[in-house]
Amino acid sequence: MGKQYDQITPTLQSFIQAQPLFFVATAPLSENGHVNLSPKGYDTFRILSPHQVAYLDLTGSGNETSAHLAENGRITFMFCAFHGAPQILRLYGKGETILPGSERWEELLALFPGYPGIRQIILASIHRAQTSCGYAVPLMELQQQRETLTRWATAKGEEALINYRGDNNCMSVDGLPTPLAQQYKEQ
């Protein structure tokens, strides 16, 4: 069944790299706040060390992860085997949002493909990795990554994306500010 690790082992790294999809979960401190769970695709996840990961965050309809990280830093990543042997892997850690122009932005951005609509990078220090059985996860085959988000971002253009993020990505659904809010306030 499940095992716990204090780092991302080479075996876990291989498992992560084989998955075309991962999930990111965060939550505000308020007991009335909304837990956020988001699926992420594309080639957007990187293991930087046995204790550090990053993912490239593309412009979307909300920005809950960033708001929650600014408030409390808690983050969980989940990977599921949809083919081959069943397995689920969760990475638990503390995360932060890296915005364009930040000290580590160029260094981290260079690790990822140049997708349209790049909004920020989420950097997380991992203190626990845990596997579980995944026996109830269905077997599925990946046909392809959807191109909808990249087509949308390309069609919108960079200036319209900047405006969109200012209108839609500066506050969480619970009214928590995201790090983007400060950046837009300064403009």
* pLDDT tens column, 53-102: 999 999 999 999 999 999 999 999 999 999 999 999 999 999 999 999 99
Give the model's pLDDT for residue 11. Answer: 97
> What would the mean pLDDT of 145-173 be, rounded to a whole number?
96
Rounded to two decimals, the pTM is 0.96
Which are the contacts of 82, defined by CB distance < 8 A and separation ≥ 6? 19, 21, 137, 138, 139, 140, 141, 142
pLDDT for 184 beyond 90 = no
Specify burial of residue 86 (Cβ count, 10 A radius: 0-12, 13-18, 19+). middle
Q: Among 150, 183, 148, which residue's Cα sits nearest to residue 165?
A: 183
The two structure tokens encoding residue 172: 């969480």
Q: Where are the domains of the chain?
A: 4-182
Average pLDDT over residues 143-150: 96
Report domain 4-182's class: mainly beta
